[in-house]
Amino acid sequence: MLHPYSKDQPYAMKRPRPATLLPLLFALPLPAATVQAQPRPGDDAAYRVVINHEEQYSIWPADRDPAMGWKTVGEPCKIEACHDFIEEVWTDMRPLSLRRQMSEMDMPADRARYQVVINHEEQYSLRLADQEMEGRWRPTGEECSLKACQAYIEEVWTDMRPLSLRKKQ
């Protein structure tokens, strides 16, 4: 359902901010979540916002080509500007395929039961609780409401960069 995986896969992230900003990620007419990569002091590196076929956003170093399945959005900029852009445009963190599936089923987003899942690059996403697990995704806990799942992701997802990129620094 989601995207192919590679060791260079960008972090399909949600922008984080302080946990006090609980107008979380994902679906509904809720403000987009706040998960952000943590730049080091004096980090003047340029980054790009990237998007995949599931309309999930991530941040990728500007000096590297995006991983397969991802395309760049906009021009290189500071990491904070990337987060601000994602905060503005990513208002529903559910993968596109899940949004379409729920629309076809005429299922309101706030009435469904969800589960937070994570992959090998420590990317978080949502899936319907009764949906079969795919690929390298594994559950992080029990079923929850959309708001509870979003709150969990906002609390734990503090660096949007893929694990493989974080390990290199």
CATH number of the domain within which 58 lies? 3.90.820.10
The yes-or-no verdict on residue 165 having pLDDT over 80 is no
Establish if 168 belongs to a structural domain: no
Establish if 21 belongs to a structural domain: no
The winner for highest mean pLDDT among 30-34, 100-104, 107-111 is 100-104
Question: How far, in Å, CA of 9 to CA of 104, rounded?
Answer: 29
Establish if 158 belongs to a structural domain: yes
% helix, strand, coil for the chain, step of 5: 20, 20, 55
Domain that holds residue 82: 47-163
Query: What does the pLDDT average to over 158-168?
Result: 77
Higher pLDDT, 35 or 66: 66
Question: How far, in Å, CA of 65 to CA of 168, rounded?
Answer: 16
Number of domains in the chain: 1
Query: What does the pLDDT average to over 79-107?
Result: 87
CA distances 115 to 19, 130, 154, Å, are 20, 9, 14
Would you state the pLDDT for residue 169? 61
Establish if 37 belongs to a structural domain: no
